[in-house]
Structure 1
Amino acid sequence: MPQPNGYSINSAPLDKSEDIEPLIENDAVPPQCCSARLNLAFLMFLGFAVVYGLRVNLSVAMVAMVNTTDPKPSQNTSIIHAFPLFVLWFQTPQYPWDSETQGWLLGAFFFGYLCTQIPGGYLSGHFGGSIFLGLGVLGTAALTLLTPLAAQMGSYWLFALRALEGFGEGVTFPAMMAMWARWAPPLERSRLMTLSGSGANFGAFLALPLTGYICQTLGWPAVFYLCGGAGCLWAVFWFIFVSNDPRTHRRISEEERDYIINSIGSQGTGHGWSVPVLPMLLSVPLWAIIVTQMCSNWSYYTLLTSLPTYMDNILHFDLQSNGFLSALPYLGAWLFSTLSGVVADSLIERKVFSITNVRKLFTLAGVLPASALLVAVSYAGCSHILTVTFLTLSTTIGGATASGVYINQIDIAPRYAGILLGITNTFGTIPGVLAPIVTGYFTKDHTLAGWRMVFWVAAGINVGGALVYTIFGSGEIQPWAGHRNII
């Protein structure tokens, strides 16, 4: 059946010329269970869990790394006495970094992350995303192993290392989008992409409490050795089992391969070396995604990088409790985002709403309550129960945006989804650079009033972005996304 935007419900949202594919009947759809596309989503889920663990571990470890009152190194004496030959591996030095320095170090990752989003999306769209996603995770993991050495050499070296880690990780999300442009049937996009992308929240959920536990038991350097090793191990499985395209996958069934290829159509092929740059720059729906992601990411990155510090300075949790309570919001976001993908696909398949309305509905449903709860945090004072409850509910409900604006690129231009995600994520990463610095400025006196300003600013920016998307967003394929519109 045709949708309001002019394409078949079981075919890709294509332009009205040669890209339109025949309808695929529901009884021809192969099951998802144990399918190649579901296995791909699961491996992506694990990959993003690893990279987000690598991204946030410094946020918790920073609490153990910094001691402004006693800059002398402290050591795990029991390990040193038992294994004197390995003393350097188990030293737990502490550094006299002030809040401004910590803010720069926490934001350093995003300076590098900004640089490779667009090139990563462009190259993934041309060559396929598997090699770029795999190397992005592997490179970040390998660099993470050097974190204790860089910290020992000084804050400038650690800043440079974190920026390099961001440089490597910057290609991962654009590569994911480029892969799903070739792998995800239109009626399964929301659930497959939210499942794979929810690994980010799951990784934050695991990394935050585990980092606190490892810091207390083995010392903070062990955090970076263990997380880096996990990333290297994941890369081995990725390169063995993953293929860029269902046409070249060695273990996919013929039924599933034909279903994916026929339902996506020619939009599931690479875009070549040329892309319609000028029409992209003039596209109002694309700018709506850019603005909304920038605004939404401000609050996300504020919590991601600064929540452990808030738990320490205002609520005075010990390090292990700090990590666990900082992780609770991401558990809810992981579950809620995955569920939102199933519901969004169901609404589209049953033709309850158009794709445009589904994306706007889930964006508003995720942003507005989450922002109100974020403001409520600032008035919870030092109440542990209220603060943790409001933060958990805010981030949990915010997970609904995973089926809204955050996968909208593949709706408006499937063939160019990788480079579009690179563009939107480049702009969306700017808050990752600015938010920790602004937070450090507001909270330099370690007062509740400063943190209240942090939460108010984040909530206000978040709501503004949602309103922009409601007015200007779209789920329809854009005219410039077809074969004949490349300049």
Structure 2
Amino acid sequence: MISYCNMNRIEPSISSKTEESDEDEVTVKIPPGVGTWLSVRYSMAYLALLGVINVYALRVNLSVAIVSMVKYNSTLQTAYLNHRAECPGRTVETNHNLNTGEFDWNRNQQGLVLGAFFYGYIITQLPGGYLASKFGGKILFGGGVLCTAALTLLIPFAARTSFTALIVVRIFEGIGEGLTFPAMHSIWGSWAPPMESTRLTSITYAGIHLGTVLAQPISGMLCASNIMGGWPSVFYMFGAFGIIWCVFWFALAQNYPHECKWISNEELLYIQSNLKPAPSSAVPWKKIFSSKAVWAISIAHFCNNWGFYTLLTCLPTYLKDVLHFDIKQNGLIASLPYFVAWISCNTAALAADKIRVKRLLSTTATRKVFNTVSFVGPACFLIAAGYIGCDSVLAVTFICFATLFNGLAFSGFYVNHIDLSPHYAGILMGLTNTWATIPGFLSPLVVGVLTAENPGRKQWMYVFYISASVYIFGALCYILLGSGKEQKWNKTFTKNEEHEPLMDD
């Protein structure tokens, strides 16, 4: 094992700056031998990508499966028959097998089932970030996925036991997954050179979209099949894949570059020379909580997740209730917007880092531009989707454009934690994702209330209006408060520095 403190450091080239400069910018020249796409740090990103795919597959499979699990009562049947006149062309009876599901859950109960995950998820965000900053993120990330995968295998049994048992399992799944993103941000705080942070984190977190792309159509096909009883096979398959991935993660992943047996000396020196030593002082909680830049990320994270979770957990229901897709079509069509977002996420990350390296824009300006486009775009297209009537092709097209623009958020606020503080990135992610978890259980409940008695297009327009308004609010707050500067509390404090004022956000 190569010791961090014994390594000779390569000093990065730092641009000249004054007190009024926007931020410390590091000119990164990748030396020969450290590679990019086939390097160890990028291999970590690919392995983590597979992990995030599992994280989201385990999270969203219920959104599709619940369509087959639930039967519809006479009140909802009447609503469907009344709603058929809004969008003629597909008959409700041939496209929806009413009363064939196992469970008699009303809309509010379905919203509770979909949102229960987030009641557990919110609990472990900040503790996960703190523990990752102390002990590294490897065990926490892998353990979170393992816990969720094992509990996913129990969902069919829990659902058939009682409604309460299912809620409890979903809450504990959330507790496990709540550790994952703070842990992963902590890992990238130790692995990602500043001018590659957008690319590396975007490769990893593109698994959010790719996991949805894979999980939704596969879940739809499994529900429509007779494999292992139909809908239960969804949970058996994804639970098993999650456990298999954990084996590879624990064998191959490392918390820090110097712990990796396969990394070359050149690549290790390159990473370490572009990252500063960890602060020797305790976690500066007061300064973190009082930072305008951290609050900007928190608000943006909340607003982004409101729109994202509304689509993630409720889009299959919208496609079924309003556009009358059957369950097999439902999973495939519902996955298209996230495939588009996966492409835009990675493309935008390459562009953002190029812009920063070539100094076309500062990190602060880059984050604000990408974040604004990623919020305003979905707001416009979600509203437009409510006005196109029963044109299912155009509706899905508009939703695809909404998620395409949303993919740019990974080059905006989502990587901003690492800009502000690589050493406390896990804690910052835990903090902002705590706020951002609230929409996970609140937005499905809002959708349930709005569509409980009338699942028609008019009610869904209210859902889209709310999401668009939240997006616009988040964009404005981030423009006003956001920053790409490394904060003083990320640096090593001396006795004379401890009481200096915060760097301006």
SS in 2 for 1:423: helix
Deviation track 1:263-306 (CA, whole Å, cap 9, x = no partner) reads: 1121xx4x678311111111111101111111111110000000
Once residues 28 and 264 of structure 1 are traced to their aligned partners in structure 2, the CA distance between those partners, rounded to angstroms, is 19
Equivalent residues of 1:370, 1:397 under 8 A apart: yes
Given the two structures, how large is their TM-score scaled by the length of structure 2? 0.87
Shift of 1:370: 1.5
Alignment of 1:2-21 (within 5 A): 2=15, 4-10=21-27
Cα distance in 2 between the residues matched to 1:438 and 1:385: 26
Matches within 5 A, 1:14-413: 25-28=29-32, 30-69=34-73, 94-217=102-225, 218=227, 219-266=230-277, 269=278, 274-413=282-421
1:450 aligns with 2:451: no
Structure 1 residues 162-220: Cα deviation after superposition (integer angstroms, max 9, x where no partner): 11000000011001100001100111100000010001100001100100000111200
Alpha-carbon distance between aligned partners in 1 of 2:308 and 2:286, rounded to the nearest angstrom: 31
Q: Which moved more, 1:153-162 or 1:56-65?
A: 153-162
**CA displacement, residues 37-82 of structure 1 (integer Å, 9 cap, x when unaligned):** 0110001111010110010000000000001249xxxxxxxxxxxx
Tell me: CA distance 1:256–1:95, structure 2 relative to 1, closer, same or farther (3 Å). Answer: same
Q: Deviations over 1:304-324 (max 9, x none)?
A: 000000011111101010111
On the 8 A contact 1:53/1:206 being kept in 2, the answer is yes
Deviations 1:195-247 (A, max 9, x none): 10001100001100100000111200000000000000000000111111110
Q: Give the whole-Å Cα distance in 2 for the aligned partners of 1:486 and 1:165.
A: 40
- Matched residue of 1:115: which SS? coil
Alignment-mate amino acid for residue 55 of structure 2: V
Partner Cα distance (2:477, 2:299) in 1: 7
TM-score scaled by length of structure 1: 0.90
Distance 1:323 1:447 in 2: 20
Task: Give, in angstroms, the shift of residue 6 of structure 1.
Answer: 4.4
Deviations 1:111-162 (A, max 9, x none): 0000000000001011111110000111100000000001001111111111
Q: 1:147/1:465 Cα in 2 relative to 1: closer, same or farther (>3 Å)?
A: same
Answer yes or no: is the 8 Å Cα contact 1:137–1:231 preserved in 2. yes
Q: Provide the aligned length of Structure 1 versus Structure 2.
A: 450
Give the residue type in structure 2 aligned to 1:220: W
2:10 matched to which residue of 1?
none
- Partner secondary structure for residue 211 of structure 2: helix
Q: Shift in Å at residue 448 of structure 1?
A: 1.4
Report the equivalent of 1:15.
none
What amino acid is the match of 2:448? G
Amino acid at match of 1:7: D
Task: Choose 195-204 or 443-452, whichever is displaced more.
Answer: 443-452
Tell me: CA distance 1:387–1:8, structure 2 relative to 1, closer, same or farther (3 Å): closer
Pick aligned residue for 2:428 from 420, 423, 435: 420
Letter in 1 for 2:268: R
* Unaligned runs of at least 5 residues, structure 1: 11-23, 71-91
Aligned to 2:92: none
Over the aligned positions, Cα root-mean-square deviation in angstroms equals 1.6
What is aligned with 1:478? 487
Distance 1:398 1:29, change over 3 A: farther
Q: Aligned partners of 1:272 and 1:57: how far apart in 2?
A: 43
Give, in angstroms, the shift of residue 25 of structure 1.
3.9
CA distance in 2, matches of 1:202, 1:25: 31
C-alpha deviation, 1:366, in angstroms: 1.1
Quick one: which amino acid aligns to residue 24 of structure 2?
Y
Provide closer, same or farther for how the CA distance between residues 442 and 272 of structure 1 changes in structure 2, counting only shifts above 3 A: farther
Aligned pair in 2 of structure 1 residues 486, 230: CA closer, same or farther (>3 Å)? farther
Q: Deviation of residue 367 (structure 1)?
A: 1.1
AA partner of residue 471 (structure 2)? N
| Matching residue's letter, 1:9 | V
User: 1:29: how far off?
Assistant: 7.0
Instruction: Tell me if the contact between 1:126 and 1:273 (Cα under 8 Å) persists in the aligned partners.
Output: no
CA distance in 1, matches of 2:438, 2:158: 25
Q: Is the 8 A contact 1:275 1:486 kept in 2?
A: no
Pick which of 219-228 and 92-101 moved more.
Answer: 92-101
CA distance in 2, matches of 1:254, 1:191: 22
Q: Answer yes or no: is the 8 Å Cα contact 1:442–1:450 preserved in 2.
A: yes
CA contact (8 A) 1:132 1:175 kept: yes
Q: Report the residue type matching 1:250 in the other structure.
A: K
CA pair 273-141 structure 1, distance change in 2 beyond 3 A: farther
Contact 2:116 2:167 in 1 (8 A): yes
Q: Deviations over 1:18-50 (max 9, x none)?
A: xxxxxx644457211321101100011110101
Matched-pair contact (CA < 8 Å) for 1:276–1:486: no
- 8 A Cα contact 1:274 1:486, kept in partner: no
Task: State the secondary structure of the residue aligned to 2:410.
Answer: helix
What is the percentage of aligned positions where both structures have the same residue? 42
Tell me by how many angstroms 1:479 deviates.
2.0
